[in-house]
Amino acid sequence: MDASDGKPGGGGPDDAGVPERNWAGNVRYAAARRHRPAGLDELRRLVAGSDRIRAVGSGHSFNRLGDTAGDLVSLAGLPQTVEVDRERATVTVAAAMRYGDLATRLHAAGFALPTMASLPHISVAGAVATATHGSGDGIGNLATAVSALELVTADGDLLTVRRDEGGDRFAGMVVALGALGVVTRLTLDVVPAFEVRQYVRLGLPRAALDEAFASAYSVSLFTDWRGGADGRIGQVWRKQLADAPPPPADWLGTTAAAGPVHPVPGMPARNCTAQLGEPGPWHERLPHFQLGFTPSSGDELQSEYHLPRAAAAGALAALDPLADRIAAVLQICELRTVAADELWLSPQHGRDSLAVHFTWIGDGDAVAPVLAEVERALAPFTPRPHWGKVFTVEPAAVAAAYPRFADFAALARELDPAGKFRTDLLDRYLPR
């Protein structure tokens, strides 16, 4: 687990306009050189002339997936284009664009993304590359919306791949961990803009999890693990379509929150999206946090494990004996569901999933032994760790959890035979 003496969120840009640390502050980037090209041709020359290079987005990875000892490049200096194709119902967007900025422009054009992550601050390319997601029984992760992407390959060439032309290979190139090249533009499927109401309910019985997850368009449950196996889930965030009826007063044995709340105890509710059933545009309700405020708590580490949906009850029961250990270093734990997809390195590949997300305190030394216990408890359920969070699952176990892992490794060797886009983390988990 990486640690530093910096403050979370302290990764300000250096003279080249490239962050020195990740958003949480627990990773100081090791790059010898930092770049912020102003145009595509400059980026292509930079990639072609580098021995080791990685693109950095919003820095919301909590591990060293985005780190390199060579050249670190920010794409924030490239034109931040948003091109809506009304006939095809797609939007083509610059890789470094933040989801919150994209959503505002997309909504103004009358369109929406089917889902949003809990925070709108993350970059489109970074979220797609790591299969970051929103929540909903019938909703895939953010990467499932990708219908085309453009990337600069190891020799500096520009490659465009499309879902309708790339066949099976396309499914291996979307969630690619930055291992195939520097993604510069992505095309995403969109839907007509819609409105959402958000209700927060308190005190959900554990036995009602499945019914709660199925009750709205997007649902997130928050627990502090202090209630034990017989305890209740502290908060249920229900994001329902605006024309759906509100939950009844006695919904699943819960009570309605009396006012706006924050999922992390002690944090101000004003940082969060509007609640209490107030209708609003999709992009102002599907995330948990507002774009203009610090998301989550800021001073934190994060881990997340994706489990087969059918194993949810067993997996949570396996964690119950660790409740006190977890609670001692936990800020909040979020439970959410994500629909299956066919993307090779997506944690939801081939299976509907339960995501168990831990927002830990910002003390890596204190979290590490608890994390090891959590991973041992979840091991029988074939967990797939989020690629951009803190985890220590052994490489063999990670590879075994993905039916197409060997195919992706071969694809990476084909497109990047010299390992230009490799990192220490990729060298550990992705065989040459």
Write down the pTM of the prediction: 0.94
Please enumerate in sequence order all residues whose Cβ is within 8 A of that of 278, keeping only pairs 6 or more positions apart, or say none.
Answer: 197, 198
Rounded Cα distance, 179 and 420, in Å: 8
Torsion angle, alpha carbons of 144, 115, 203, 317, to 10? 10
CA distance linking residue 59 with residue 78, whole number of Å? 17
C-alpha count within 13 angstroms, C-beta hemisphere, residue 254: 28
Cβ atoms of 314 and 144 closer than 8 Å: no
Q: Rounded distance, CA 99 to CA 398, Å?
A: 28
CA distance 280 to 272: 13
DSSP lists the bridge partners of residue 281 as 195
pLDDT tens digit sequence for 373-390 = 999 999 999 999 999 999
HEC string of 78-135 equals CCCCEEEECCCCEEEEECCCEHHHHHHHHHHCCEECCCCCCCCCCEHHHHHHCCCCCC
Give the per-residue pLDDT at 331.
95
Residues 6 or more apart from 11 whose CB is under 8 A from it? Answer: 19, 20, 21, 22, 23, 25, 28, 29, 59
Distances (CA, A) of 379 to 41, 159, 206, 326: 46, 38, 22, 17
Residue range 262-268: mean pLDDT, rounded:
92
Task: Return the pLDDT at 293.
Answer: 67
**Per-domain residue ranges for the chain?**
76-393
Asked whether the beta carbons of 340 and 348 are under 8 A apart, the reply is yes
| Count of CB atoms situated within 10 Å of the CB of 313 | 13
Which pLDDT belongs to residue 297? 58
* pLDDT > 90 fraction of the chain, expressed in percent and rounded: 82
* Higher pLDDT, residue 97 or 231: 97
- The sign of the CA dihedral 44, 45, 51, 57 is negative
- What is the rounded CA–CA span in Å between residue 222 and residue 202? 10
Query: What is the per-residue pLDDT for 318?
Result: 96
Contacts of 99 (CB under 8 A, 6+ apart): 113, 116, 117, 120, 121, 122, 123, 124, 127, 142, 287
- Per-residue pLDDT, 22: 86
Beta strands in 371-418 (DSSP E): 384-385
Check whether 299 has a pLDDT greater than 50.
yes
SS (H, E, C) 265-323: CCCCHHHECCCCCCCEEHHHCCCCECCCCCCCCCCCEEEEEEEEHHHHHHHHHHHHHHH
Report how far residue 113's alpha carbon sits from residue 134's, in angstroms, rounded to the nearest whole number: 11
Q: In this predicted structure, what is the pLDDT of residue 13? A: 53
- The encoded tokens of residue 96 equal 């470094």
Query: Closest by alpha carbon to 277, among 293, 257, 295, 297?
Result: 257
Q: Sorting pLDDT into bands at 50, 70 and 90, what band is 287?
A: very high
pLDDT averaged over the chain?
92
Whether 249 shows a pLDDT value over 60: the answer reads: yes
How large a percentage of the chain has pLDDT more than 70?
94
Q: What pLDDT is recorded for position 296? A: 60
Q: How does pLDDT run across 190-232, given as a tens digit for each residue?
A: 999 999 999 999 999 999 999 999 999 999 999 999 865 557 8
* DSSP secondary structure string for all residues of 344-377: TT-TTBTS-EEEEEEEE-S-HHHHHHHHHHHHHH
User: How far is the C-alpha of 28 from the C-alpha of 2, rounded, in Å?
Assistant: 9
Q: Token pair of 420, please?
A: 């230009």
Q: What mean pLDDT comes out for the span 114-127?
A: 92
Which tokens hold the place of 198? 């958000």
Instruction: Give phi and psi for 247, each to the nearest 5.
Output: -65, 145
With cut-offs at 50, 70 and 90, classify the pLDDT of residue 1.
very low
Residue range 131-186, pLDDT digits in tens: 998 789 999 999 999 999 999 999 999 999 999 987 889 999 999 999 999 999 99
As a whole number, mean pLDDT of residues 34-49 equals 97
Strand ranges in 8-52 using DSSP code E only, listed in sequence order: 33-35
pLDDT score of 8: 40
Average pLDDT, integer, range 299-326: 95
Q: Which residue has the higher pLDDT, 22 or 89?
A: 89
Q: Does domain 76-393 have CATH number 3.40.50.10890?
A: no
396 φ/ψ angles, rounded to the nearest 5 degrees: -65, -40
pLDDT digit string, tens, across residues 395-423: 999 999 999 999 999 999 999 999 999 99
